Amino acid sequence: MLRLLVSLALAAVGSAQSPLPQRYRDAGVLRWGADAEGGAPFVFVDGTRPGAGEVGFEVDLARELGVVLGVELRRVQAPYESLVQVLDRGDCDLVLNGFEPTPARRELVRFTRPYYVFQQQLSVGPGVTGVRGLADLVGRRVGVLGQSQSHQVLLAQPGIDIVVYESNVTAYEDVVNGRTAASLADLPIARALRPLFPRLVDVGEPFGAYYYAIAVRRGEPELQRALDEAIGALLANGTLERIYREWELWVPAEARLGDRDVVDAFARDGDDRAAAELHWGAVLSLLGTGALRTLGISVVSFALAVLLGLAIALLRLHGPRPLRWCAVAYVELLRGTPILVQMLLLYYGLGQIEGLRLDAVTAGVLGLALNYAAFEAEIYRGALSAIPRGQREAAQALGFTGAQALRHIVVPQALRLSLAPSTNDFIALFKDSSIVMVITVVELTKQYQMLANATGRFIVLGFVTSGLYLLMSLPLAYLARRFERRLDRDRA
Amino acid sequence: MIRLRGVTKRYDGRVLFAGLDLDLVPGRTTVVTGPSGCGKSTLLRLCNQLERHDEGAVSLAPIEIPAGLPHAAWQRRAAELRRRTGMVFQGYHLFPHLSVLANVTLAPRVVQGAARAVAEAKARQLLELVGMAAAADRFPARLSGGESQRVAIARALATEPEVLLLDEPTSALDPASTADVVAVISDLRRRGVTQMLVTHDPQLAKALADELVQLG
Ligand SMILES: Nc1ncnc2c1ncn2[C@@H]1O[C@H](COP(=O)(O)OP(=O)(O)OP(=O)(O)O)[C@@H](O)[C@H]1O
Ligand SMILES: [Mg+2]
């Protein structure tokens, strides 16, 4: 009660100097964007206690900010990589989600004063020796969350073989598996995940000083100042420290939150700096490399899918009974479960078994091939069944064995029937192939995301990337249409 | 030559033939006639074992196929028997993905292991024989019914069968095409090719038969 009074008093003081813009006060709501998938300790769904729901130190922080500002803070779910866009579109009013004021982001949005100082923690696998700090990582594979502060830190240290992950959990997973030697992570995340990875060994003291700050749209300096003062109030009355201690996030470095240079670190005068010029040579070379990788992965995995799919279809129609059942089970299993889950199981699941640890590209190609084989098998089964009985009889009457009739008469005709639907499947696989980014493969879409996040040029890079996809898929679509026309002609 | 002894064929418990004997005479054309549904096609298909019989034996010396063989053994002997017979279907059943020439050369190459050049030279002779030499590079979808049936005859002859089985080879054709196909069959008959021909057309039967078998 006393605290509430204090907060209200502070809110009154705050509104006297930098009031929350009128429209937010009218609405009584500020919507904050965050990704609950990012995990502990920021914003996450606690599944370990009944009825706990959405928790995290930022959930607590948001609640307290709301008290100071006199409005309700309502969370909006958005993917971490898209938080800036979601903010820009007006789907939320601020971003509060372990958001680091990187130079690229500062081009796009306005940041408040930092509300948390975080450091970096290096962790190595159980069998790794001789690593005492970043300098010892040269020539080794080191996992890191893409676009994170840790990623930047590693990039600044030449000679490290960096493997980029979609989440810190999978990055740690691969350290334990031995695919990578070490992983660098923001300290709060490292602390929160430590119970899940008891075999990881932390190396050295946490180092560096980086900041989380709240992002608002560029054109809203009033909102920024209102939030600045609210953060200041929570720091002054000890609320921040209390929250961070509750989450075991309080480190000595937090003492600097009140320092003038920290407070002003990301303040801007409001004028728009010109966006950095893209170096098109570098951009096209990166995207081109990504496109080639996409093409390679697609072609190899589809070739495998065709062979495997044909084998499955033949087994299903002509194999001995137990194998027929296996073929049916395979198709239903692979068609009936999400390819994302299959991919993660193949890479991280199998990765826990010593002899079955596939490298990322192999796992990606295999995952796509195994999944698409199920769809190809159904196409071929339909086509094989569509070949008239008389064709096999004619072959038999000429003395062909069953296998010879299949090979020379039935299968070639079925493949021709399948050409158009198969080509369409290939186009689909081609676009689906970006899913391999979840297992650290950097292909065209991932390369685009990384470039766009680093430069903030989402739209122009998006057009270039789409152009590259089209450049590769249009000839395929053209081929599919030609196959269809040719088939119609043959049947005439 | 193909010989049936005491052959019985049943469908779903219904007896189609019981204890049938039949001897094809080498060098002669045997015509089988009878009303629709009496079992003409079935009889022909028994001769090359596209259908299995329930009792009795089908033979083409030295191959002997008694009823009730285990499946694998039957398959082996049936395939052996079929390699020595040729068959022409009412609906042609040409292979649509292969050119006319390839339709004719495929069996010699795959089943008999003939060299490509040898098989092609032979195929061109046969296409000449049935009057289809000019169509060697065309595809079946581009042929008329009569042309298709003549190619089918060439295809059936390509493996040099001891007997040619023809199932209503003209019943799907217009009169002009029928005349072309009948001319080819008559020509083969003159050359002493052993043939067994099924038809429900009495005129055709009279025109082509050395031996006549009346069913039903
Ligand atoms: N696979 C089968 N299962 C059951 N009955 C069959 C089968 N094949 C043929 N029959 C029956 O056997 C009988 C003889 O058929 P078949 O085709 O030999 O006659 P057909 O004399 O050739 O007739 P058509 O002149 O119409 O061609 C018919 O009554 C037919 O219904
Ligand atoms: Mg018939």
Which uninterrupted H or E stretch holds B196? Answer: strand B195-198
B41 CA → ligand 1 middle, Å? 7
Give the CA angle between residues A409, A411, A414 to the nearest 5°. 105
Q: At what angle do helices A2-17 and A57-69 cross, to 10 degrees?
A: 60
Contact present, A145 and A115 (Cβ < 8 Å): no
The 3-state DSSP composition of chain A as helix, strand, coil percent (nearest 5) reads 65, 15, 25
Closest CA to B82 of A393, A409, A390: A393
Closest CA to A84 of A214, A278, A241, A171: A214
Q: CA-CA distance, A165 to A362, in Å (whole number)?
A: 16
Contact present, A154 and A160 (Cβ < 8 Å): yes
A19 DSSP assignment:
P
Closest CA to A167 of A230, A105, A79, A248: A79
Among A residues 35-94, those touching chain B with beta carbons less than 8 Å apart:
none
pLDDT value, residue A280: 87
Q: CA-CA distance, A374 to B145, in Å (whole number)?
A: 40
pLDDT value, residue A11: 46
A408 DSSP assignment:
I
pLDDT value, residue A457: 82
Domain boundaries along the sequence of chain A: 2-115+213-263, 118-209, 280-491
Q: CA-CA distance, A484 to A168, in Å (whole number)?
A: 47
Candidate from B111, B139, B141 with C-beta closest to A398: B111
CB contact under 8 A, B50 and A397: yes
Which uninterrupted H or E stretch holds A212? Answer: strand A201-212
Chain B positions touching A410 (Cβ under 8 A) are: none
pLDDT value, residue A268: 65
A161 beta partners: A141
CB contact under 8 A, B82 and A398: yes
Amino acid at A27: A
Please give the structure tokens belonging to residue A291: 């496109």
The phi, psi pair for A109, rounded to 5°, reads: -135, 175
> 3-class SS at A160?
coil
* Ligand 1 neighbour B36 (Cβ under 6 A): yes
Closest-CA residue of B relative to A392 is: B93
Closest-CA residue of B relative to A487 is: B97
Q: CA-CA distance, A117 to A251, in Å (whole number)?
A: 8
Asked if CATH classification 3.40.50.300 holds for the domain at A280-491, the reply, yes or no, is no
Q: CA-CA distance, A12 to A27, in Å (whole number)?
A: 18
CB contact under 8 A, A490 and B141: yes
Please give the structure tokens belonging to residue B140: 């079946």
How deeply is A321 buried, as exposed, middle or buried, from its count of CB atoms within 10 A (0-12, 13-18, 19+)? exposed
Q: CA-CA distance, A65 to A59, in Å (whole number)?
A: 10
* Other Cβ atoms closer than 10 A to B35: 10
Q: CA-CA distance, B57 to B21, in Å (whole number)?
A: 9
Give chain A's length.
492
Long-range pairs for A59-66: beta carbons < 8 A, 24 or more residues apart? A60/A243, A60/A246, A60/A247, A61/A96, A61/A115, A61/A234, A61/A240, A61/A243, A62/A32, A62/A96, A64/A7, A64/A234, A64/A239, A64/A243, A65/A30, A65/A227, A65/A230, A65/A231, A65/A234, A66/A30
> 3-class SS at A86?
helix
Please give the structure tokens belonging to residue A99: 């958001």
Give the CA angle between residues A239, A196, A134 to the nearest 5°. 80
- What residue's CA is closest to ligand 1, atom 10? B11
pLDDT value, residue A489: 61
Q: CA-CA distance, B9 to B57, in Å (whole number)?
A: 11
Chain B contact for A490, CB < 8 A?
yes
Long-range pairs for A49-54: beta carbons < 8 A, 24 or more residues apart? none
* Ligand 1 neighbour B39 (Cβ under 6 A): yes
A201 DSSP assignment:
E
How deeply is B54 buried, as exposed, middle or buried, from its count of CB atoms within 10 A (0-12, 13-18, 19+)? middle
* Ligand 1 neighbour B16 (Cβ under 6 A): yes
Residue with tokens 């098989």: B119
Report the CATH number of the A118-209 domain.
3.40.190.10
CB contact under 8 A, B107 and A399: yes
Among A residues 401-430, those touching chain B with beta carbons less than 8 Å apart:
401-402, 404, 408-409, 412-413, 416
For residue A213, CA distances in Å to A264, A279, A282 come to 12, 29, 31
Q: CA-CA distance, A143 to A413, in Å (whole number)?
A: 49
B114 DSSP assignment:
-
Q: Flag whether the ipTM exceeds 0.90.
A: yes
Q: CA-CA distance, A62 to A68, in Å (whole number)?
A: 10
CB contact under 8 A, A490 and B86: no
Predicted confidence (pLDDT) at residue B44 exceeds the cutoff of 90:
yes
Q: CA-CA distance, A157 to A236, in Å (whole number)?
A: 37
pLDDT tens, per residue, chain A with 492 residues: 445 544 444 444 444 467 899 999 999 999 999 988 877 889 888 777 776 678 899 999 999 999 999 999 999 888 887 888 889 888 899 999 998 888 888 888 999 999 999 999 999 998 888 888 888 999 999 999 887 889 989 988 889 999 998 888 889 999 998 899 999 999 989 988 888 899 999 998 889 889 999 999 988 999 999 999 999 999 999 999 999 999 988 888 898 898 888 888 887 654 444 455 778 888 899 899 999 999 999 999 999 999 999 999 999 999 899 999 999 999 999 999 999 999 989 988 887 787 888 888 999 999 999 999 999 999 999 999 999 999 999 999 999 998 999 999 999 999 888 988 998 899 999 988 999 988 888 899 988 988 887 777 888 999 999 999 999 989 888 887 887 777 766 654
Q: CA-CA distance, A7 to A69, in Å (whole number)?
A: 9
* Other Cβ atoms closer than 10 A to A285: 11
CATH architecture, range A2-115+213-263: 3-Layer(aba) Sandwich (3.40)
Contact present, B47 and B2 (Cβ < 8 Å): yes
pTM: 0.76
Q: CA-CA distance, A285 to B38, in Å (whole number)?
A: 76
Can you count the helices (H) and strands (E) in chain B?
Answer: 7, 9
Long-range pairs for A476-481: beta carbons < 8 A, 24 or more residues apart? A476/A423, A476/A426, A476/A427, A476/A430, A477/A423, A477/A427, A479/A423, A480/A419, A480/A420, A480/A423, A480/A424, A480/A427, A481/A420
Q: Do A2-115+213-263 and A118-209 agree at the fold level?
A: yes
The phi, psi pair for A28, rounded to 5°, reads: 75, 10
Q: Is the dihedral of CA A186, A187, A188, A194 positive or negative?
A: positive
CB contact under 8 A, A489 and B141: yes
Chain A positions touching B41 (Cβ under 8 A) are: none
pLDDT value, residue A488: 66
Chain B contact for A16, CB < 8 A?
no
DSSP string of A307-331?
HHHHHHHHHHHHS-HHHHHHHHHHH
Chain B positions touching A403 (Cβ under 8 A) are: none
pLDDT value, residue A272: 46
Chain B positions touching A397 (Cβ under 8 A) are: 48, 50, 82, 85-87, 89, 156
For residue A95, CA distances in Å to A118, A159, A273, B175 come to 17, 34, 21, 85
